[in-house]
A and B are shown apart, each in its own frame.
Chain A
Amino acid sequence: MTGMKKISILALALLLVVSTAFAQGTKEDSAAAGQVELTVLNYIDMSEPNSANEVAMIWDKFSAENPDIKVVREDLFNEPFHQKTEAYVASGQLPDVLYMWPSGRSTSLHTTGSVKDLMPFLEKDGLVDSYNPATLAPQYAGYLGELPNGITTTHMLYVNKKVLRENGLEMPKSYAAMKAMVKPLKAKGIDLIAMDNMDAWVMQSCLFSMVVGRYGGVDWFERVENKEASFTDSWFLDSLKLIDDMYASEMIKRNSLTSPYGSSRGRFAAGKAAFYIDGDWSAGAFQTDITTGQALISKEAQANDFEMIVMPALPGEVISNSNSGVIGTGFGMSANLPSGSAKEEAAWRLIKFLQGEYVQTYRLTTGASFPSNLNVDVDKVVKEANLEPFVAKRAAYYANYNTITPVVDGVLPADVNNVVNTGLQEIGLGKKTPVQVAQAVQKAWNEWESNK
């Protein structure tokens, strides 16, 4: 009866495992006397090279400095994070402090008033002047729902200058010049632009938003709101047509639509593409992984062979060298915390710390984000000996391209933005024309306006 034997062994093993696990579970420590317990919903990509280090440098440091606060953190990333947020909102039982977007990505947190306005806290502590004023602008529901980590520019065109050099090409001055590179590079088996468009937000956020700004100007969204512009007008239609043209001319390959986000970084670093498009947050991914000491792009190559720019002049653009940007993500405070309570005070202390000088300086050095806190002396940090060349290049990139236009998903309501995202992919697949997509977006906008 080997079957019976196996089953009894299995049952015994199970019993052992269960008892161990429950014994372990009961050890779960709770806040000691006099400690304030704070629950935090955090957003962290555990697969990022420096995430483990970030936990130690940021969260452990906070706990060490604030022994009277016990932080109970829940780390999630990507879709599971958003699912969990929605579940929290629906139950009305939010964690005390939560990571959130200033925009439609965190719609329900903003519109249901689930988080507090942080402006009064900043004012009370006299901290308003410590932050870049642009980062303290009202957010999705008209108030400061989270304290942003900075300004995020969502479009960054990385250039592999070595590939250009080896193929006798120069830094492109115009869209046409870039387009002309497709052919010679293709002959060598090199793609012009590497991009991962499987997730629908990538195209919209990392390229299309910048294009819309170039054609629609800095104030395109205000004009749409005031009914002075519509999505079927040329500024929006031309933007869609440009994307259509980039796919059709193989500047961006159609098969990028099945490429998972982030998967082309290695190919780009290895010279399989001349350009790579992503958001500014991706810069850190090319830098050294502290745990292994390896980098996708070595320090020397970062200095000599790579550049961070934005798309060159587009045909018929109304403003040039602009980039798309949005207020960064940050942490908000649950509206359930009673005013003046010890918990509220502790939560604010944590939020302040997370966007304070120490954390932002650290995140600048790892390439995670660019500071909103004016007390961080970027020049000084950059000049410090051991920083990788990409940190300095990134600072220069921000200085070079300081005309910032809105990011589509930062201003459009989620229902309308979803239509844009899907439409851009449909253009890539050749399933819809730019005109059809523009009409669909306008229709979604009208619907949203009438439901408001």
Chain B
Amino acid sequence: MADIKDTKSARAKVNKALTYAVMFFFTFMAIYPLFWLLMNSFKTTTEFQLNKLGFPQHWTLINYKDAWVRGKFPHLILNSMVYTGVTTVVTLGLSFMAGFGFAKIPHKATKILHGSFIIGLLLTLQSIMVPLFLLINWTGLYNTRLGVLIPYIGIAMPMGIYLGTDYIKSIPNALIESARLDGATYFRIFRSIIVPMALPVGVTLAILTVTGTWNEFMLINILTSSDALKSLPVGVQKFAGALSSDFGKQFAALVIGLIPMLAFYLGFRKEITKGVAAGAVKG
């Protein structure tokens, strides 16, 4: 009896150790490349040629200094924050509004309008780049911040409507009906019932929009010409994408490129992990 118990607990221990090993393996896989990048950004290119895997033997900040000065990163980061922040806030607001309309106010246009947003989920941005450029040119918004923001918001709309409508549908009709009976207007209901109740999906949507907008690097090149309006990924691509012989500076530029999102993630870790999940709960 004692024997069996011993083997059982021994096996449990082995299992536990194995499970830990597997988890550590995946964690290691997830962060090693980033760690590798960080280490190499402190090496000179010459050292990198000889020592690709180890710690730097002579730590240097020269790569960062060069990349920072040449890449004009400060204003790119600022621009990225503006585009991402405004796009996210506006997308959230519009998606909630339209989502409320679609989900809770019966109307015969809903089917076709809502359906057209869902098709938008499947569209690739690359196929509409040139028509968009023409459009922005006609409207005189070329090379302005607004001319970047409006397309960004439009592109984020389908996901917003998809998640927003779906979530708002799950808010009990009874709540809305009783408010209506009390004489509340739809706007009032929107403000006092829908917005507070839809906040969880708002977080999800915010995260998806933030990462999507922050990452965008192609459309903005088409829609603006002035360097003062471009965003961080454009700078990273311009600086590091072309620079394949000077690894040190390339790595430093990449680290600079990932720091803002990393800080955002670590700061809002809990909200983000909860948010991503909430959004995908419903089919």
Contact present between A and B (CB < 8 A): yes
State the A residues within 8 Å of B (CB): 3, 6, 14, 17-18, 20-22, 24-25, 28, 39, 41, 45-47, 49, 52, 72, 74-78, 80, 83-84, 86-87, 90-91, 93, 95, 196, 260-267, 270, 285, 291-292, 296
Instruction: Point out the residues of chain A lying under 8 angstroms from B70, CB to CB.
Output: 46-47, 52, 291
Q: Is the CB of A263 within 8 A of B82?
A: no
**In the complex, B156 has a CB within 8 A of chain A:** no
Closest Cβ of chain A to B133, distance in Å, is: 4
Please tell me which one of the listed residues A18, A21, A39, A46 contacts residue B238 in the complex, with CB atoms under 8 A apart: A46
Do A6 and B267 form a contact, CB below 8 Å, given A46-B239, A291-B66? yes
Q: Is the CB of B246 within 8 A of A47?
A: yes
Q: Tell me the complex Cα distance, A41–B218, Å.
A: 17
Q: Tell me the complex Cα distance, A41–B81, Å.
A: 26
Q: Chain B 57-78 against A: per-residue CB contact (8 Å), 1 yes, 0 no?
A: 0000010001000110001001
Q: Is the CB of A14 within 8 A of B218?
A: no
**In the complex, B95 has a CB within 8 A of chain A:** no
Which of B4-12, B18-26, B175-183, B224-232 lies on the face that meets chain A?
A: B224-232
Do A25 and B145 form a contact, CB below 8 Å, given A3-B271, A261-B244? yes
Q: Is the CB of A14 within 8 A of B81?
A: yes
Q: Tell me the complex Cα distance, A39–B85, Å.
A: 30
Instruction: Point out the residues of chain A lying under 8 angstroms from B81, CB to CB.
Output: 14, 17, 21
Further contacts, 16 of them, CB under 8 A, given A77-B238, A80-B238, A291-B70: A6-B268, A14-B81, A25-B229, A46-B238, A47-B239, A72-B225, A76-B238, A78-B242, A80-B234, A84-B221, A93-B137, A95-B225, A264-B245, A265-B245, A267-B49, A292-B62
Q: Tell me the complex Cα distance, A316–B227, Å.
A: 52
Q: Is the CB of A18 within 8 A of B86?
A: yes
B210-237 contacts to A, CB under 8 A, are 218, 221-222, 225-229, 234, 237
Please tell me which one of the listed residues B46, B49, B242, B268 contacts residue A47 in the complex, with CB atoms under 8 A apart: B242
Instruction: Point out the residues of chain A lying under 8 angstroms from B71, CB to CB.
Output: 46
Q: Tell me the complex Cα distance, A86–B81, Å.
A: 29
Please tell me which one of the listed residues A24, A84, A266 contacts residue B245 in the complex, with CB atoms under 8 A apart: A266
Q: Tell me the complex Cα distance, A93–B78, Å.
A: 29
Q: Tell me the complex Cα distance, A263–B85, Å.
A: 37
**In the complex, B254 has a CB within 8 A of chain A:** no
Instruction: Point out the residues of chain A lying under 8 angstroms from B239, CB to CB.
Output: 46-47
Do A83 and B222 form a contact, CB below 8 Å, given A20-B78, A22-B145? yes
Please tell me which one of the listed residues B130, B234, B242 contacts residue A87 in the complex, with CB atoms under 8 A apart: B130
Instruction: Point out the residues of chain A lying under 8 angstroms from B134, CB to CB.
Output: 90-91
**In the complex, B129 has a CB within 8 A of chain A:** yes
Instruction: Point out the residues of chain B lying under 8 angstroms from A86, CB to CB.
Output: 130
Q: Is the CB of B241 within 8 A of A78?
A: yes
Instruction: Point out the residues of chain A lying under 8 angstroms from B137, CB to CB.
Output: 91, 93
Instruction: Point out the residues of chain A lying under 8 angstroms from B194, CB to CB.
Output: none
Q: Is the CB of B267 within 8 A of A87?
A: no
Closest Cβ of chain A to B69, distance in Å, is: 8
Closest Cβ of chain B to A293, distance in Å, is: 12
List 11 interface pairs A-B (beta carbons < 8 Å), by A numbering. A18-B85, A24-B228, A78-B242, A83-B218, A84-B221, A84-B222, A90-B130, A91-B133, A262-B243, A264-B245, A266-B46
Q: Tell me the complex Cα distance, A292–B62, Å.
A: 10
Instruction: Point out the residues of chain A lying under 8 angstroms from B103, CB to CB.
Output: none
Q: Is the CB of B245 within 8 A of A28?
A: no
Closest Cβ of chain B to A441, distance in Å, is: 28
Closest chain A residue to B250, Cβ basis: A47
Size category of the B interface is 35 or more
Q: Is the CB of B45 within 8 A of A47?
A: no
Closest Cβ of chain B to A346, distance in Å, is: 18
Q: Tell me the complex Cα distance, A90–B271, Å.
A: 44
The 6 A-B residue pairs with the shortest CB-CB distance, nearest first, are: A47-B243, A74-B225, A14-B85, A263-B244, A260-B244, A262-B244
Closest Cβ of chain B to A84, distance in Å, is: 6
Do A21 and B145 form a contact, CB below 8 Å, given A260-B244, A262-B244? yes
Q: Tell me the complex Cα distance, A287–B34, Å.
A: 32
Q: Tell me the complex Cα distance, A266–B78, Å.
A: 34
Closest Cβ of chain A to B137, distance in Å, is: 5
Closest chain A residue to B78, Cβ basis: A21
Q: Tell me the complex Cα distance, A21–B230, Å.
A: 12
**In the complex, B43 has a CB within 8 A of chain A:** no
Do A28 and B228 form a contact, CB below 8 Å, given A3-B271, A17-B81? yes
Q: Is the CB of A28 within 8 A of B226?
A: yes
Instruction: Point out the residues of chain B lying under 8 angstroms from A17, CB to CB.
Output: 78, 81-82, 85
Q: Is the CB of B226 within 8 A of A74?
A: yes
Closest Cβ of chain B to A279, distance in Å, is: 14
Closest chain B residue to A296, Cβ basis: B245
Instruction: Point out the residues of chain B lying under 8 angstroms from A25, CB to CB.
Output: 144-145, 228-229
**In the complex, B108 has a CB within 8 A of chain A:** no
Q: Is the CB of B79 within 8 A of A21?
A: yes
B80-109 contacts to A, CB under 8 A, are 81-82, 85-86, 89
**In the complex, B270 has a CB within 8 A of chain A:** yes
Please tell me which one of the listed residues A46, A49, A80 contacts residue B221 in the complex, with CB atoms under 8 A apart: A80
Q: Tell me the complex Cα distance, A262–B245, Å.
A: 5
**In the complex, B155 has a CB within 8 A of chain A:** no
Interface centre among A25, A264, A291 (most CB of B within 10 A): A25
